[in-house]
Structure 1
Amino acid sequence: MSFIKPKFRHPRLPTNALGFTVADYDGAISTLCAGCGHDSISAAIRNACFKSALEPHRIAKVSGIGCSSKMPTYFLGRSHGFNSVHGRMPSVATGASLANRNLTYIGVSGDGDTASIGMGQFIHLIRRNVNMTYIVANNGCYGLTKGQDSATADLGSVSKGGAANPFDGIDLASLAVLQGASFVARSFSGDKDQLEPLIRAAMAHDGFAFIDVVSPCVTFNNHAGSTRSYGSTRDHLDAMPVDFVPVREEIRAEYAEGTSHAVTLHDGSVIHLLKADAGYAADDRTGALTAIRSAQQDRRILTGLLFLDPNSRDLNDTLELASRPLNELGKDELCPGSKMLDSINEGLR
């Protein structure tokens, strides 16, 4: 099987304001499971960058470890990229952002990479208000290690091994709002019409922008009893000594603002989504927390722009760094000399 995309492009593909086609924002062919919602997120990022007319070489992609963190390979093949160690993507993003403030930073993570080993770094990324878009592909399980419950798995959700999760799941959107994030949103990988605009808004935001995307695992969270199931296939196939996921259509949902929508998954189970309406006060942090909690109590998933701080100041402004990127400053500017250093030290006595 070839994993190289053909270079031929239709000569009449539409172009954006910079003259790029959507193909110029493509990456490698995905090796994720067939029907995985993560590929829909990758496509949404690609389309958002194309529609926003961002220069591919002025975008930096950062990620950690996990199925979700493989995603940057599958979009923006002409952009800078760094795949860090597990849970440490925020440190890389912070350093890169301080070194070159003129790039657009997109961080892609998962519920394990963010809510478990990377939780401490995630919290500090929020409080520093690093200017980046941080997207979590949230499926409630560890897909690379056979589907154990992650820290975002819902209370009572049945794991692949048959055990019910005894712990409350960490709600990353609520946490981001509570810790002071200046842009918080949630969406569903199957809702392209909502997700793409949210990503475009996040990239345009001046500060830390967080999007929690519900993206169920088609392989290890598709069994009966899972609250985020795409349905088990083993009961409907002849027993074989290998895991197999047949090709399936991606599940999409289109519904109006302020309404609920029931999404029927492949196994017949249903998840209920609630889209915030146009009258929702997105600049009310307390109201956002109340709305998210109220939806949780009704066993619904609130999606849309949950919170936005219109007066946000990113880390570069908070630290009063030079307007030019630090990686463009010369030796004389970075090293002002012994007299200036002596003056600084004297001021600290």
Structure 2
Amino acid sequence: MSFEKSKFHHPRLAINELGLNYRDYEGSLSTLCAGCGHDAISSAVIQACYELSLPPHKIAKMSGIGCSSKSPTYFLNKAHGFNSVHGRMPSVATGANLANRDLIYIGMSGDGDSASIGMGQFAHVVRRQLNMLYMVANNGVYGLTKGQLAATADKGMTNKAGESSLFADIDLCVMALQLGASFVARSFSGDKKQLVPLIKAAISHQGFAFIDIISPCVTFNNHANSTRSYDYVHEHVTTAAIADFVPVKKEITCGVGDGENEDICLHDGSIMRIHKLDKNYQTTNAMQAIIDIEQHKEKGEILTGLFYLDPTCSNFHEINNTNDTPLNQLSQDALCPGSRVLSGINDSFR
């Protein structure tokens, strides 16, 4: 059975400066689990691009493999898109950016795609200051392959199968700060009031912008003793052996104010404590941001907000002094000037 999103909409929907309405920035109907935080991220991207009045055809969506990397299908259906190999999105984004620097690049990745198989790629795209927005939908598990623990899972965390995380977690925000990212932030998928402005600021930023988005998995963050687990549901609701049954759950949201804490109850009944940065937080000191993140982590809190911003940084093209004309607009003679020019280049290295 296939489903299609309705093309009908209210005739008086508000329009932006381009004459486009919110629906013009949507994508296909989501096939993620009901209540998945990744869909809230997609909604935030749609709203941010609509409010910025960005032409969809001037945007390139890049992703790797995983539940998170499926998400670009669900926003900006009139944009360019490329779903790359697992962990290799940064290389593809770099190549595309070299070919056409005039596009707006939005990368969507996951904790496995960036913190495990793609960690080397992530590290180098940060340090090279590629002009893009790089988002990680972080749920601490491999949701697409039945919930194994990811490298971002907190030490001691137990997954649905009862497996405990034995190692310290990889904090991608701390890593991005250490590698020289010029825009670093963390948010929660259920806090749209915080997430949308962060995405708008990151898209507008000239340089590498990174946002780590905590997005709880509605399916694999349930434990063996949880009353929301698969086993409990099968025992108390149905006797049929439906291997891929997903209980319908509501999206988790929060409304924590600046400088405040809020305890978020996840679908398994466990508690996640969010602490939002004060609006007067100084975003010019990367080392202080790392210290603040680690101090809150020791208290069992997840710090969210804009950690660091350097508006004067140089991006990839400025650092490498690349041609102002995108490669896809250069002539054949310019791209392949012939053996004489090649010989001159080779002689310069002798």
Distance in 2 (alpha carbons) for counterparts of 1:202 and 1:109: 15
Structure 2 counterpart of 1:74: 74
> SS of 2:72's equivalent?
helix
**What are the residue-to-residue correspondences of 1:149-298 with 2, within 5 Å?**
149-223=149-223, 231-232=228-229, 234-236=231-233, 237-238=236-237, 239-242=239-242, 243-298=244-299
Residue ranges of structure 2 left out of the alignment (5+ in a row): none
Higher mean displacement: 235-244 or 126-135: 235-244
Higher mean displacement: 4-13 or 260-269: 260-269
Distance in 1 (alpha carbons) for counterparts of 2:135 and 2:224: 28
Letter in 1 for 2:275: L
In the TM superposition, residue 71 of structure 1 has moved relative to its aligned partner by 0.5
In the TM superposition, residue 34 of structure 1 has moved relative to its aligned partner by 0.5
CA contact (8 A) 1:283 1:310 kept: no
Distance in 1 (alpha carbons) for counterparts of 2:170 and 2:130: 22
Letter in 1 for 2:214: V
Deviations 1:256-297 (A, max 9, x none): 111111112334322110111122111101101001001100
In the TM superposition, residue 337 of structure 1 has moved relative to its aligned partner by 4.7
Structure 2 counterpart of 1:29: 29
CA contact (8 A) 2:161 2:223 kept: no
Residue ranges of structure 1 left out of the alignment (5+ in a row): none
Deviations 1:101-123 (A, max 9, x none): 00000111110111110011111
Structure 2 counterpart of 1:315: 316
In the TM superposition, residue 234 of structure 1 has moved relative to its aligned partner by 3.7
CA contact (8 A) 2:162 2:223 kept: no
In the TM superposition, residue 240 of structure 1 has moved relative to its aligned partner by 3.6
CA contact (8 A) 2:218 2:249 kept: no
In the TM superposition, residue 338 of structure 1 has moved relative to its aligned partner by 4.8
Distance in 2 (alpha carbons) for counterparts of 1:231 and 1:322: 56
Seen in structure 2, the aligned counterparts of structure 1 residues 273 and 15 have a Cα distance that, compared at 3 Å, is same
- TM-score of the superposed pair, with normalisation by structure 2: 0.94
In the TM superposition, residue 339 of structure 1 has moved relative to its aligned partner by 4.8
CA contact (8 A) 2:221 2:267 kept: no
In the TM superposition, residue 348 of structure 1 has moved relative to its aligned partner by 2.2
Distance in 1 (alpha carbons) for counterparts of 2:163 and 2:65: 25
- TM-score of the superposed pair, with normalisation by structure 1: 0.95
Letter in 2 for 1:123: A
Same amino acid, percent of matched pairs:
57
> SS of 1:134's equivalent?
strand
Structure 2 counterpart of 1:108: 108
Deviations 1:41-88 (A, max 9, x none): 011111111111110000001111111111011111111111111111
In the TM superposition, residue 321 of structure 1 has moved relative to its aligned partner by 1.1
Letter in 1 for 2:259: G
In the TM superposition, residue 131 of structure 1 has moved relative to its aligned partner by 0.7
CA contact (8 A) 1:28 1:77 kept: yes
Higher mean displacement: 18-27 or 306-315: 306-315
Deviations 1:180-224 (A, max 9, x none): 111111000000001111111111111111110000111111226
Letter in 1 for 2:296: A
CA contact (8 A) 1:35 1:218 kept: yes
Letter in 1 for 2:313: S
Structure 2 counterpart of 1:39: 39
CA contact (8 A) 1:147 1:220 kept: yes
Letter in 2 for 1:264: C
In the TM superposition, residue 233 of structure 1 has moved relative to its aligned partner by 5.3
Seen in structure 2, the aligned counterparts of structure 1 residues 13 and 192 have a Cα distance that, compared at 3 Å, is same
CA contact (8 A) 2:159 2:222 kept: no
Structure 2 counterpart of 1:302: 303
Letter in 1 for 2:34: A
